[in-house]
Amino acid sequence: MQAAFEDILFKPEPDREDIKVLLSTEGPQLERLLRRGLEVKLDRLDNYVHLRGLIEFGNVCEKNCLYCGLRTGNGKVARYCLSDEEVLECARLAQTLGYGSVALQSGERSDPGFIDRIERLVREIKKIDGGSLGITLSLGEQCEETYRRWFEAGAHRYLLRIESSDEELYYRIHPRNDKHSFHTRLECLETLKHIGYQTGTGVMVGLPFQTLDQLAGDLLFFKRMDVAMVGLGPYIPHPDTPLYRYKDLIPPAKERMDMTLRMIAVLRMMMPEINMVAATANQTIDPQGREKAIAAGANVIMPNLTPGEYRESYFIYPDKACVKDQPDQCQTCLDIRLAAIGHKIQYNAWGDSLAFTKKH
């Protein structure tokens, strides 16, 4: 059994059954798996962590995902949208702090005014310091023309989680209608890749009804899609969402955290040179969660740059980590936390996915 486990750890292309063995590890085998994720990362990517200054642009959303606090059906949220000047102020701060990149994220909107504004803002951010900031967008499903306009304006990475690659589970966590089509989501990912974005996707771990087989399927999906980036994080139940009624069906926080770490380590073995985000949700359910994710194979952190007065309204899930931190505090804290686990921040660089840059 032990030999079989060690063999799987060194397989470059583990199959579904192998992955399920790795995702079931406990105790010393789990520690060994996480060490393997770290070894592969250090070997292929070094100990650098890339930053994306996160700008939570607005919480207005046309969608009704059953797990998310920003869903349009949640009447308890005070809706906001940053002004152009506030967004540019955040981007200038990212530049001053040496983050190298920003990520613009918001609820999903497809009205022409929103699309025009994003295009204009991307162009304005590109003017800062001669275009030195990389730009990731995470603005949901859009048509090809919109994705293309934003790309031509200067955005070069796009994060659109599939949430679950299993169609049946997808429809248990989304309404089954045209606005929440699994196939549209897949098409969007293909379109983003085709346009030339570094395309990222990801899933929530520990959802109600989610099985080990589906999680193994998610990892095989990332590989099959040949994505450049992945963002994995634990699901956190939000009381004002329909999925909350199943909260007693989900694993305890520690198990959701451990499963997220197993997923990160196995994915690092399968896709050694992609960028992988240590999601804020990790830190929300475990104070050391982000560092644990980095030590299992993740290599990207997204410190929050959203102006303080809006942060609590970007209420995706309860008890979000770092909601009250100031950016400079956040940076010092990150430097110290990462140094403690033998990592360092790569300042003033875009920190592109090596898997992507080698291919293009």
| 65 belongs to the binding site for ligand SF4 (CB under 6 A) | yes
Among 105, 142, 164, 198, binds ligand SAM (CB under 6 A): 105
| 107 belongs to the binding site for ligand SF4 (CB under 6 A) | yes
Question: Tokens for 105?
Answer: 């994220």
Q: How far is the CB of 53 from ligand SAM (least distance, A)?
A: 16
- 124-183: contacts with ligand SAM (CB under 6 A): 138, 140, 160-161, 163
The CA distance from 331 to 310, in Å, is 20
Q: How far is the CB of 127 from ligand SF4 (least distance, A)?
A: 28
| 70 belongs to the binding site for ligand SF4 (CB under 6 A) | yes
Among 19, 21, 51, 68, binds ligand SF4 (CB under 6 A): 68
> Is residue 235 within 8 Å of residue 35, measured between CB atoms?
no
Site size toward ligand SAM, by CB under 6 A: 19
User: Quick count: other Cβ atoms within 10 Å of Cβ 168?
Assistant: 10
Q: How far is the CB of 231 from ligand SAM (least distance, A)?
A: 8
Choose among ligand SAM, ligand SF4, none what residue 269 binds, the Cβ cut-off being 5 to 8 Å by kind: none
Q: Is 158 helix (H, G, I), strand (E, B) or coil?
A: strand
Scanning 41-49, 68-76, 80-88, 307-315 for contacts with ligand SF4 by CB under 6 A, the matching segment is 68-76
Identify which of 259, 153, 248 has the alpha carbon closest to the alpha carbon of residue 214.
259
Amino acid at 65: C
B/e letters for 265-304, b = 16+ CB within 10 Å, e = fewer, are bbbbbbbbbbbbbbbbbbbbbbeebbbbbbbbbbbbbbbb
DSSP letter string, 193-233: HHHT-EEEE-BEES-TT--HHHHHHHHHHHHHHT-SEEEEE
Q: Which residues contact 47 (CB under 8 A, 6 or more apart)?
A: 342, 343, 344
Identify which of 83, 55, 5, 13 has the alpha carbon closest to the alpha carbon of residue 302.
55
> Is residue 103 within 8 Å of residue 54, measured between CB atoms?
yes
Choose among ligand SAM, ligand SF4, none what residue 71 binds, the Cβ cut-off being 5 to 8 Å by kind: ligand SF4
Q: Considering beta carbons, is residue 9 or 316 the nearer one to ligand SAM?
A: 316
- 287-316: contacts with ligand SAM (CB under 6 A): 316
Q: How far is the CB of 297 from ligand SF4 (least distance, A)?
A: 25
What track of x and - describes contact with ligand SAM for positions 34 through 73 (by CB under 6 A)? ---------------------------------xx-x---
Q: Considering beta carbons, is residue 203 or 269 the nearer one to ligand SF4?
A: 203
> Is residue 20 within 8 Å of residue 248, measured between CB atoms?
no
Q: Is the dihedral of CA 221, 226, 279, 172 positive or negative?
A: negative
- 128-147: contacts with ligand SF4 (CB under 6 A): 140
> Is residue 205 within 8 Å of residue 166, measured between CB atoms?
no
| 71 belongs to the binding site for ligand SF4 (CB under 6 A) | yes
- 322-351: contacts with ligand SAM (CB under 6 A): none
Q: How far is the CB of 98 from ligand SAM (least distance, A)?
A: 25
Scanning 40-48, 64-72, 122-130, 338-346 for contacts with ligand SF4 by CB under 6 A, the matching segment is 64-72
| 237 belongs to the binding site for ligand SF4 (CB under 6 A) | no
Name the site residues for ligand SF4 (rule: CB under 6 A): 61, 63, 65, 68, 70-71, 107-108, 140
